Chains A and B, each alone.
Chain A
Amino acid sequence: MSTTDITKGESKETTSSKELVSIFVMGKKYEVPKNLTIMKAMEYAGYKYIRGCGCRGGICGACGTVYRKPGDYHIYVGLACQTVVEDGMYLTQLPFFPANRATYNLEAIGSDPEEVYKKYPELFRCVACNACTKVCPMDISVMDYISAIKQGDFEKATELSFDCIQCGLCTVRCMGEMSQYHIAQMVRRVTGSKIKPKASHLKTMVDNIKTGRYTKAITDLKSMSEAQLRKVYPEREMEPTEAPEDWKPADTTYL
């Protein structure tokens, strides 16, 4: 059996299930195999994406989708590449939504929350309706990170907003008309660059490289033949997986 016999490219997999369900794409009915994601179901129906499709793996935020189910007043959301179709699903994708983004100079500002408030005064228009959290396909507590920002707790906001894929669905629903995900992006960068402690070992290493500490060792490696390299390579000492952070190798010649 060749390797290709047991693995098929993505194009083949959309034909797997024979059992069909009806979905309504922007109001128009299509019969598609159940078990497909919305994205693959739309491709099955004959759509070819330009917008509304990106990583196909749930991380890029290109395929935010809003849908309803028959006889149910609730609004449901999901990523088209991650959400499996259901019979009677009534959907549209929202591949883009105009959002307000402020330009700022990260180097010039400090960690004072006022810097963010100045750029995004609409933060304080939040009426705590929680529609943003309800609509988030990544189950992020959007309202809670907005409150954390308003309270000046940027580290908490960074943590709460970390899985944001910037699909913009929160912004679509916001009564205060803010673009939560752009605000969170600015906050995370302020946190990463100005609030969290710096890695001192990083600076040390960069300086050591600049002063040429490893230049000779690497020049020697570069001049080695393949045979010589094959000898040196297996001899390198392995840091054990379970070794503590301060583990040191026995041989320190090339450190």
Chain B
Amino acid sequence: MPYPQELKELIKVVEKTRPERVARKKKNEEVPFLSLEERKKILDYHPDFREEGRREIKVGPSKGYRIAHEMVDMLEAKSRVNPDLVDLSQVDYETDVLVIGGGGAGTSAALLAQEQGAKVIIATKLRHGDANTMMAEGGIQAATKGWKDSPYYHYLDVMGGGHFKNIPDLVDTLVTEAPDVILWLEKLGCNFSKFPDGTLKTLHGGGTCRKRMHYAADITGAEIMRTIRDEARNRSQDIKVIEFSPAVELILNENGECAGALLYNMETEEYFIVKAKAVIMATGGSGRLHIQNFMTTNHYGATADGIVIAYRAGVGICFLHTVQYHPTGVVFPEQAEGILITEKFRGSGANLINIDGQQFVNEREPRDVESAAVIKECVEKGKGIPTPTGKFGVWLDSPMVDTLSGEGTVEREFPGKFILYKRFGIDISKEPMLIYPTLHYQNGGLEYKSTGETTLPGLFVAGEVGGGVHGQNRLMGNSLLDILVFGRIAGKSAADYAKSRSDMGILTLDHVRAYHKGLEDADIETDRVAPMLLPDYTLPHIKERQLTSCYVGTLR
């Protein structure tokens, strides 16, 4: 729906201050960036700092760690299956490398494992490519322009964004492998936006000191995902994809090594056993847990499955006490609520504006700082713009982009968002967007090394499911980079591991029994089951009528 009259009136306030803001920007007179001390102060408004939003985990390898209730609920839950009913002698699939997750990390891992000669199975919960990768818009960071940038500066930016808590080895690998990832994608036929001579176009992102954000219009993730998925399909002789079949447990052997996984066919409700010499966990993030009740930009399937099943198998977690809220999610129109508005708008110069038409923060602060500033503006200062649905937001002044870079820039550089808003009767090259922070990214995750290895032999980690490389806060454009750098590495490491492995031992789900015992010992009485696989948006009035009390298979 178009903006109602009362919002149109408020837009006039934004228009009034725009010429002056544009003039300042043209003279490179920015609203000053916050100092590290000022950043620290404003972060009090970040949802991560609400102590009542979290609690200690009572079981498992990271017992005692305080993280969001929604995540603890998943970890303090039972398996979907009774291990006693699973006959592990009936193996349904055997392979060298099993990749769990069919997004960018999983697919790049599968490609690299295949190149090492491995037979690969990708097991994925929805369709191949149904992942947050597909939805990443803004771009992918890499220091590719040697006359002004280098991995040194990329390293510093990553550390600063993560509040200097990042794991140095992982950051080193991320920034030094980055240019090679872009080269690999170019070779695979990914269409990055380029100048006529082939020079890659790059922009700033929040927290970057050099313009190193490479992009493919405003659908960078989709272009990357469909390219590498297409390549995986070309190698279907060696890469088999099993869709709508999430892994619900890892399978170990008697020596405590990873030896496969239990898959659940969501359509037939059958369970299948995969025996694999190496397993790569690439299940992505957890936005659909709606932590602290926030709306989310995430894909339907982002429900922390990999964290749950690897944690049960003994892999520790880190940095999960920090969650990334993207500063600019749609808060109106309601139909698009939670949808991501790429940071590229801010990288292209669009200011964040309050109800008085004033810019209250530089638009290129790191994401957590930017989000905290928006929340503070709305919650403490009361300078948010009320929406017709009873929420608050601030303006993202997209028409500035046209004023700064020429008419037609918004439509050309942001075709996806331009069309989306056009459907609702809003022209974002003429009217600003109403935004509020939205749950976007799982900064933390499973502990892993720069080789992709974990403490569980035979299990490798790649992408958002892992934690450490982004410290406490990820910068824009480092997630697409992360999944491809560590996807490729995990693929190669896993294939090498598979080659060297001869004895698979006896398959077991004893770790699940032990975990259930651990729940009992910690006095956790619950009927929660995890992984949850899909979020439940069924409304109470429907639930009241769902009275089936005896479960009899597909006809519930």
| B contact residues around A239 at 8 Å (CB) | 148, 204, 209-211
| A contact residues around B135 at 8 Å (CB) | 55, 57, 59-60
Complex-state Cα separation, A229 to B192, whole angstroms: 33
Tell me the smallest distance from the CB of B42 to a CB of chain A, in Å: 14
**Is residue A246 contacting chain B, with contact meaning CB distance below 8 A?**
yes
Contact with B along A193-219 (1 / 0, CB 8 A): 110111111111110110001100110
Interface size on B, residues (CB 8 A): 118
* Given known A-B contacts A6-B391, A9-B294, A234-B36, A218 and B172 have beta carbons under 8 A apart: yes
User: A218, B151: Cβ atoms under 8 Å?
Assistant: yes
Tell me the smallest distance from the CB of A38 to a CB of chain B, in Å: 10
**Is residue B339 contacting chain A, with contact meaning CB distance below 8 A?**
yes
* Given known A-B contacts A46-B538, A101-B233, A202-B179, A238 and B337 have beta carbons under 8 A apart: no
Tell me the smallest distance from the CB of A122 to a CB of chain B, in Å: 18
Choose from B186, B293, B364 the contact partner of A202 (Cβ within 8 Å).
B186
User: B156, A202: Cβ atoms under 8 Å?
Assistant: no
Residues 158-184 (chain B) with a chain A CB within 8 angstroms: 159-160, 164-165, 168-169, 172, 175-176, 179-180, 182-183
**Is residue B551 contacting chain A, with contact meaning CB distance below 8 A?**
no
| A contact residues around B219 at 8 Å (CB) | 59, 162-163
| A contact residues around B168 at 8 Å (CB) | 221-222
User: B416, A3: Cβ atoms under 8 Å?
Assistant: no
* Given known A-B contacts A192-B190, A205-B179, A15 and B152 have beta carbons under 8 A apart: no
| B contact residues around A238 at 8 Å (CB) | 209
Tell me the smallest distance from the CB of A215 to a CB of chain B, in Å: 8
Complex-state Cα separation, A158 to B534, whole angstroms: 35
User: A218, B176: Cβ atoms under 8 Å?
Assistant: yes
Residues 166-225 (chain B) with a chain A CB within 8 angstroms: 168-169, 172, 175-176, 179-180, 182-183, 186-192, 194-200, 204, 209-211, 217, 219, 222-223
Choose from B155, B190, B199, B293 the contact partner of A218 (Cβ within 8 Å).
B155
Tell me the smallest distance from the CB of A164 to a CB of chain B, in Å: 8
| B contact residues around A198 at 8 Å (CB) | 186, 198
User: A185, B211: Cβ atoms under 8 Å?
Assistant: no
User: B226, A185: Cβ atoms under 8 Å?
Assistant: yes
Interface size on A, residues (CB 8 A): 99
**Is residue A141 contacting chain B, with contact meaning CB distance below 8 A?**
no
Tell me the smallest distance from the CB of B538 to a CB of chain A, in Å: 6
**Is residue A18 contacting chain B, with contact meaning CB distance below 8 A?**
no
Segment of B123-131, B255-263, B480-488 engaged in the interface with chain A: B123-131
User: A249, B148: Cβ atoms under 8 Å?
Assistant: yes
**Which residue, A35, A105, A199, A239, has most C-beta atoms of chain B within 10 A?**
A199
* Given known A-B contacts A106-B189, A188-B189, A54 and B300 have beta carbons under 8 A apart: yes
Segment of B8-16, B138-146, B461-469, B511-519 engaged in the interface with chain A: B138-146
**Which residue, B26, B129, B156, B168, has most C-beta atoms of chain A within 10 A?**
B156
Tell me the smallest distance from the CB of B473 to a CB of chain A, in Å: 14
| A contact residues around B338 at 8 Å (CB) | 10
| B contact residues around A163 at 8 Å (CB) | 217, 219, 415-416, 419
User: A236, B153: Cβ atoms under 8 Å?
Assistant: yes
User: B293, A7: Cβ atoms under 8 Å?
Assistant: yes
**Is residue A50 contacting chain B, with contact meaning CB distance below 8 A?**
yes
| B contact residues around A53 at 8 Å (CB) | 300
* Given known A-B contacts A6-B378, A202-B183, A233-B160, A57 and B230 have beta carbons under 8 A apart: no
Residues 418-456 (chain B) with a chain A CB within 8 angstroms: 419-420, 423, 436-438
User: A255, B146: Cβ atoms under 8 Å?
Assistant: yes
* Given known A-B contacts A209-B176, A248-B147, A234 and B35 have beta carbons under 8 A apart: yes
**Which residue, A57, A200, A236, A242, has most C-beta atoms of chain B within 10 A?**
A57
Chain B: CB-nearest residue to A188: B191
* Given known A-B contacts A54-B130, A214-B176, A9 and B295 have beta carbons under 8 A apart: yes
Tell me the smallest distance from the CB of B62 to a CB of chain A, in Å: 23
Choose from B134, B164, B404, B419 the contact partner of A230 (Cβ within 8 Å).
B164
* Given known A-B contacts A3-B292, A84-B335, A230-B36, A11 and B183 have beta carbons under 8 A apart: no
User: B164, A226: Cβ atoms under 8 Å?
Assistant: yes
* Given known A-B contacts A55-B134, A197-B196, A197-B198, A138 and B148 have beta carbons under 8 A apart: no
User: A221, B389: Cβ atoms under 8 Å?
Assistant: no
**Is residue A232 contacting chain B, with contact meaning CB distance below 8 A?**
yes
Complex-state Cα separation, A44 to B199, whole angstroms: 49
User: A60, B145: Cβ atoms under 8 Å?
Assistant: no
Contact with A along B397-428 (1 / 0, CB 8 A): 00000001000000000011001100100000
Complex-state Cα separation, A13 to B411, whole angstroms: 29
User: A3, B299: Cβ atoms under 8 Å?
Assistant: no
Residues 228-255 (chain A) with a chain B CB within 8 angstroms: 229-230, 232-234, 236-243, 245-249, 254-255
User: A4, B267: Cβ atoms under 8 Å?
Assistant: no
Residues 106-144 (chain A) with a chain B CB within 8 angstroms: 106, 138-139
Chain B: CB-nearest residue to A104: B234
**Is residue A23 contacting chain B, with contact meaning CB distance below 8 A?**
no
Complex-state Cα separation, A232 to B36, whole angstroms: 12
**Is residue A74 contacting chain B, with contact meaning CB distance below 8 A?**
no
User: A14, B231: Cβ atoms under 8 Å?
Assistant: no
User: B186, A59: Cβ atoms under 8 Å?
Assistant: no
User: A158, B191: Cβ atoms under 8 Å?
Assistant: yes
Residues 525-555 (chain B) with a chain A CB within 8 angstroms: 534-539, 542, 546
6 contacts between A and B (CB under 8 A): A8-B293, A55-B135, A202-B179, A206-B179, A213-B150, A229-B160
Given A43-B539, A58-B416, A82-B420, 5 more A-B residue pairs with CB atoms under 8 Å apart are: A57-B339, A104-B234, A106-B234, A234-B36, A254-B150
Q: Which 6 A-B pairs have the closest CB atoms?
A: A189-B189, A197-B198, A9-B290, A193-B189, A192-B189, A254-B152
Which residues of B approach A to under 8 Å, CB–CB?
Answer: 1, 25-26, 28, 30, 35-36, 45, 47, 50, 126-127, 129-130, 134-135, 143-153, 155-157, 159-160, 164-165, 168-169, 172, 175-176, 179-180, 182-183, 186-192, 194-200, 204, 209-211, 217, 219, 222-223, 226-227, 230-231, 233-234, 236, 244, 266-267, 290, 292-297, 299-300, 331, 334-335, 337-340, 347, 349, 364, 375, 378-379, 384, 389, 391-392, 404, 415-416, 419-420, 423, 436-438, 534-539, 542, 546
Which residues of A approach B to under 8 Å, CB–CB?
Answer: 1-4, 6-16, 35-37, 40, 43-46, 48-51, 53-60, 62, 82, 84, 101, 103-106, 138-139, 158, 162-163, 165-166, 185-186, 188-194, 196-206, 208-209, 213-214, 217-218, 221-222, 226, 229-230, 232-234, 236-243, 245-249, 254-255
